[in-house]
């Protein structure tokens, strides 16, 4: 049974970037199948697979590979499990090509499995630098891939330095900017937040000022996650700004972050009058939430990519995004409560959006990638 293209979705961040590519492939009536794995199929990370189905897409296969309790050892085991599962899946269905996104640890598994079965690999967002183990993973995926879709000019240049074949590098931009471009035109949220999504904590009055927090663990700094996130938490509490706080992804150390936030939520219930915790949102709704917010704080690439285009003020904490190309909307700091709090007061209290920054593209990446893929298969 031969299928042409397998789209590998592993997390909420990869889906947000794949969304415009899927839409364009569908428009062009190009045959593809969606494979969901890792955190995308787990309830604890927000049932992303259900979101994909509600967006009108069918999931061809699900790969369950995550080992519970996200630690360095268990993440390594999760990669091993994924290689085994993807190897069997590719043997059964023989796709001509798989398309993978980014630099997360779980993305290297299908890349290895496909490469050893002579299946073509297309890699979106290679060539970037982010200052942690993701750099090694990203470059390894690029070296195993046959076609490359970098998001920025600098990334494309870097890819040319590390790859032998320069002909298969296509500068296209970041696909999530395609969604940001659509959202940028809206001055309102097109959905009822509390009727659409569930979470825990205090309800937010969206007619007033609010901010968004997305802070993940840093694999290279494993063991420091709790201490780091507590600095952010304390600054948020003291700022008294309404806050939508997203639970972390599945990187090693995320269990520790979730544990300390749950503990704080239970013990400091009286102090949590300004925080609402949520697992996941659809890519479009997430960007609408960001676009109307007073800013985003943490270490998510969304603050670097999508928010640079939207012009949303961003406070980038720590080393997770070190090396990324950043726009004027971003201010970086370390894990200091006082510095974080001062920046919140300076950048978020009186919101002043920056101009559109097109470092990561002009909103046509999905169209470009789908068009190129149509000629490759």
The confidence band for 2, taking pLDDT boundaries of 50, 70 and 90, is: low
Please check whether residue 320 is in contact with residue 130, taking contact to mean a CB–CB distance below 8 angstroms.
yes
Whether residue 22 is found in the same domain as residue 69: yes
Domain identity same for 244 and 158: no
Residue range(s) defining the domain that contains residue 234: 182-348
- What integer pLDDT is reported at residue 271 of this predicted model? 61
Question: Can you tell me the mean pLDDT for 232-253?
Answer: 92
Say if 274 falls within a structural domain: yes
Residue 221 and residue 153 share a domain: no
Candidates 170, 7, 224; CA nearest to 232 is 224
Read off the pLDDT of residues 254-285 as tens digits, 9 standing for 90 and up.
Answer: 989 999 898 888 877 666 679 999 999 999 99
pLDDT confidence of residue 270:
60
Other CB atoms closer than 10 Å to residue 109's CB: what's the count? 26
Q: How confident is the model at residue 44 (pLDDT cuts 50, 70, 90)?
A: confident
Q: What is the mean pLDDT of residues 146-162?
A: 96
Do 240 and 278 fall into the same domain? yes
Q: Does residue 43 surpass a pLDDT of 90? A: no
Within a domain: residue 246?
yes
Measured between alpha carbons, how far is residue 241 from residues 193, 203, 257, 296, 304 in Å? 18, 12, 21, 12, 22
Please, how many CA atoms are within 13 Å of residue 241, restricted to the half-sphere of its CB?
A: 29
Q: Is there a single domain that holds both residue 21 and residue 94?
A: yes
Q: Does 218 share its domain with 168?
A: no
Same domain, 124 and 191: no
158 and 258: one domain? no
Residues 163 and 142 in one domain: yes
pTM assigned to the model: 0.93
- Answer whether residue 355 is part of any domain: no
Same domain? 158 vs 230: no
HEC sequence for the chain: CCCCEEEEECCHHHHHHHHHHHHHHHHCCCCEEEEEEHHHHCHHHCCHHHHHHHCCCCEEEEECCCCCCCCHHHHHHHHHHHHHHHHHHHHHHCCCEEEEECCCHHHHHHHHHHHCCCCEEEEECCCCCCCCHHHHHHHHHHHHCCEEECCCHHHHHHHHHHCCCCCCECCCCCCHHHHHHHHHCCCCCCCCHHHHCCCEECCCCCCCCEEEEECCCCHHHCCCHHHHHHHHHHHHHHHCCEEEEECCCCCCCHHHHHHHHHHHHHHCHHHCCCEEEECCCCHHHHHHHHHHCCCEEECCHHHCCHHHHHCCCEEEECCCCCCCCCCCCEEEECCCHHHHHHHHHHHHCCCCCCCCCCCCCCCCHHHHHHHHHHHHC
Domain match, 34 and 126 both:
yes
210 and 232 co-located in one domain: yes
């Amino acid at each position: 049974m031969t299928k042409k293209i397998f789209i590998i979705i592993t997390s909420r961040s990869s889906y947000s970037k794949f969304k415009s590519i899927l839409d364009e492939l569908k428009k062009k009536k190009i045959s593809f199948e969606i494979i969901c794995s890792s955190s995308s199929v787990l309830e604890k990370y927000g049932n992303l697979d259900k979101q994909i189905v509600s967006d009108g897409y069918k999931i061809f296969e699900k790969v369950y590979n995550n080992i519970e309790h996200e630690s360095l050892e268990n993440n390594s085991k999760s990669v091993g499990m994924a290689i085994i599962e993807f190897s069997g899946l590719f043997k059964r269905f023989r796709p001509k090509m798989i398309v993978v996104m980014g630099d997360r640890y779980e993305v290297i598994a299908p890349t290895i499995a496909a490469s050893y079965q002579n299946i073509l690999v297309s890699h979106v967002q290679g060539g970037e630098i982010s200052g942690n183990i993701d750099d090694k993973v990203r470059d390894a995926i690029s070296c195993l891939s046959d076609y490359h879709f970098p998001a920025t000019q600098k990334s494309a240049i870097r890819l040319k330095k590390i790859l032998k074949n320069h002909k298969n590098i296509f500068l296209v931009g970041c696909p999530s900017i395609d969604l940001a471009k659509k959202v940028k035109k809206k001055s309102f949220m097109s959905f009822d937040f509390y009727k659409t999504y569930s979470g825990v904590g205090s309800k937010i009055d969206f007619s007033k000022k609010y901010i968004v927090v997305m802070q993940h663990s840093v694999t290279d700094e494993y063991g420091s996650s709790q201490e780091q996130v507590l600095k952010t938490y304390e600054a948020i509490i003291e700022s008294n700004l309404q806050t939508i706080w997203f639970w972390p992804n599945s990187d090693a150390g995320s269990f520790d972050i979730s544990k300390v936030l749950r503990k704080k939520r239970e013990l400091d219930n009286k102090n949590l009058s300004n925080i609402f915790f949520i697992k996941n949102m659809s890519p479009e709704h997430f960007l609408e939430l960001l676009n109307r917010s007073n800013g985003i704080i943490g270490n998510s690439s969304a603050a670097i990519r999508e928010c640079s285009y939207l012009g949303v003020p961003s406070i980038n904490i720590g080393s997770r995004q070190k090396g990324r190309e950043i726009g004027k909307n971003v201010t970086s700091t370390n894990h200091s409560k006082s510095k974080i709090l001062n920046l919140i007061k300076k950048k978020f209290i009186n919101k002043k959006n920056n101009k559109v920054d097109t470092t990561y593209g002009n909103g046509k990446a999905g169209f470009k990638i789908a068009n190129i893929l149509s000629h490759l298969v």
